[in-house]
Amino acid sequence: MTTRAYDAARETFAEWGADTEAAMTALAAIPISVHCWQGDDVVGFETRKGNSGGGIQATGNYPGRARTPAELRADLEFAYAQIPGRHRLNLHAFYLDTDETPDRDEIEYRHFEPWVDWARQQGIGLDFNPTFFAHPRADDNLTLSHPDKGIRDFWIEHGRRSRDIAARIGEALGSPAVNNIWVPDGYKDTPVDRMAARRRLEASLDEMLSPPQDPRHMRDAVESKLFGIGVEACTVGSHEFYLGYAIRKGTLLCLDMGHFHPTENIADKLSSVSLSVDEILLHVSRPMRWDSDHVILLNDDILQMAQELVFADLLGKTRIGLDFFDATISRTAAWVIGVRNMQKALLRALLLPRARLQQAEHDLDHSTRLILTEELKDLPYAAVWAEFCDRMGVPTGAGLIAGLNAYQSSVASRG
C-alpha cells in the first residue's frame, strides 16, 4: 500500500508533467557497477606488493577492512541488501580468489571462478579491470609505456589475460563484462619525450587489444587521467590520448570524475564524446582538490551528470561504475551511501519535466528555464525515493542507519 506522502508527491509531479511510476520503473532498470576496491582500501588479495602509483591512495585506518574474498563478499552482500535494485560488481584482477600465487602475467579464469559462482548465486553481472599497479614491475610509474620492452611485454600479457578472463566471465554470466584499462604511467617532473612514451603506450595497447573478443561477452574501455601524486608533470594516458584512441579503435571511453581539472564537470563532456564513441563508462567519484576519491554525495556535480544522462538519452550507451575509497569510515556504509546517492540523482533527473525545460531553452526563454529549474528543486523527491526503497524491500532513514551501524559493529574486530 502506498503512503499518503507518496500519493501526494505523485500528484504534485503529475501537475508538473512528470510520471513518478515511470521514473521508478526506469530507475529499477539501471544497474550500477559497484567497485570491489572500496571494501579493502584497494589492497587486493595477492601476496606480492608494490606501489599503487598514479596517485591511488586510500587514507584512514577505520576498523573493519575486508581481508579475504569471503569477507569482501559478505560485506558486499550486506551492502547490496541496503541498495534498491539489482546491480553489478566491478572486480580488479588483483582480487583473485585462489590458493595459488600466479604473477600478473600468469592469471587465468580459474583464479576468479569463485567470484563468478558467487555472482551467479547473487544474480548479478561482473565487470573486470586488469591491475597495472601495486606490483614491483610498476614501481617506475611506467607499465605499458615503459622504455624496457621486457616490462611492456609483461604488462601486455597481463592485459591480454585480463581480457580473456573478462570474456569468460561475461559468457558465464550471460552479460558482457566491461574490461577497463587504467595505467598509472606518468612522470613526476617535466618529460622531454612525451611523444615516445605515448607511442609506446599506443603500440602496447594495440598489441594487447589485437586478439579479437566477442562483444557479447566483453568490451574494452580506456580510462584517462590528468595527473596523480607522483606523476604531477605528465600522464601518458591523458584525456586527449584516450579520446582519440577510443574513437579510432572502437573501445568504450571511461570518464572518471576525479581525472580532470577541478573546475571541469564531466556532465558537460558526455554529449560531446557520445557523438564520437559508441559507449561510455563512468567512474563516478568525488574529487576534493585532487583525485581524492571521496564517497559521492548528492551534490550538484552528480545531479548535473545524472540529468545529462537522462536528458541527452545517454543511459542506453553508458555503463555507470563507481570509483571512490574512503578508509576513514565504515566501508560498507561508504558503498551504500555512494550507490544510493547515484540512484537518487538519477531518480531526480527522471522526475524532471524534461520536455518543458527543453522547450523553454529551444524558445530562448531563459527566464522560464531558470524559474523552472529553481522551482523544481522544491518538489518532493524524498517521498518518491522512500516509496521506491519500500517497494524494493530496502530500508530508508532511521532503519538504514541502525542497520549500517549494526553491521559495522559486527566487523569492527577484524584485525
Ligand X SMILES: C[C@H](O)[C@H](O)[C@@H](O)C(=O)CO
Is residue 225 annotated as a catalytic residue, yes or no? yes
d(CA 25, CA 125): 20
CB of 90 to Mn ion, least distance (A): 10
Is 259 assigned to a binding site? yes
- Answer yes or no: 223 catalytic: yes
Among ligand X, Mn ion, none, residue 176 binds (CB under 5-8 Å by kind): none
Which of Mn ion, ligand X, none interacts with 387 (beta carbon under 5 to 8 A by kind)? none
Phi, psi of 248 (to 5 degrees): -70, -35
Binding site for Mn ion (CB under 5 A): 256, 283, 323
- For the stretch 374-407, what's the b/e string if a residue is b when 16 or more beta carbons lie within 10 angstroms of its beta carbon? eebeebbbebbbbbbbbeeebbbeeebeebbeeb
139 annotated to bind ligand: no
129 binds, among ligand X, Mn ion, none (CB under 5 to 8 A by kind): ligand X
Residue, CB closest to ligand X: 182
Q: Give the DSSP per-residue string, 301-331.
A: HHHHHHHHHHHTT-GGGEEEEE----SSS-H
Please indicate whether residue 182 is annotated as part of the active site.
yes
Site residues (vs ligand X, CB under 6 A): 37, 42, 54-56, 92, 129, 182, 223, 225, 256, 283, 291, 323
Task: Compute the least distance from the CB of residue 15 to ligand X, in Å.
Answer: 42
Identify the active-site residue in 223, 279, 301, 326: 223
CA distance 75 to 118: 13
Displacement of CA 373 from its chain's centroid (Å): 28
Q: Using the minimum distance from each CB to ligand X, give the nearer residue, 43 or 372.
A: 43
Q: How far is the CB of 259 from ligand X (least distance, A)?
A: 6
CB under 5 to 8 A by kind: which of Mn ion, ligand X, none does 40 bind? Answer: none
Q: Which does 88 bind (CB under 5 to 8 A by kind): Mn ion, ligand X, none?
A: none
Catalytic residue among 35, 135, 269, 283: 283
Nearest to ligand X of 52, 213 (CB atom): 52
Contact 387, 21 (CB under 8 A): no
List the grid coordinates of 308: 545529462
Instruction: Say whether 249 is catalytic.
Output: no
User: Residue 40: which of 68, 77, 80, 74 has the closest Cα?
Assistant: 68
Q: Which of 111, 225, 239, 344 is catalytic?
A: 225
Active site residue 293: yes
Give the nearer residue to ligand X in terms of CB position, either 26 or 273.
273
Which of 241/381 has CB closer to ligand X?
Answer: 241
- Pairing state between β 218-223 and 177-181: parallel
Distances (CA, A) of 37 to 59, 169, 331: 13, 19, 10
The set of cell numbers assigned to 354 is: 524534461
Instruction: Write down the residue that cell numbers 595497447 correspond to.
Output: 205
Active site residues: 182, 223, 225, 256, 259, 283, 291, 293, 323
- Output the known binding site: 259, 291, 293
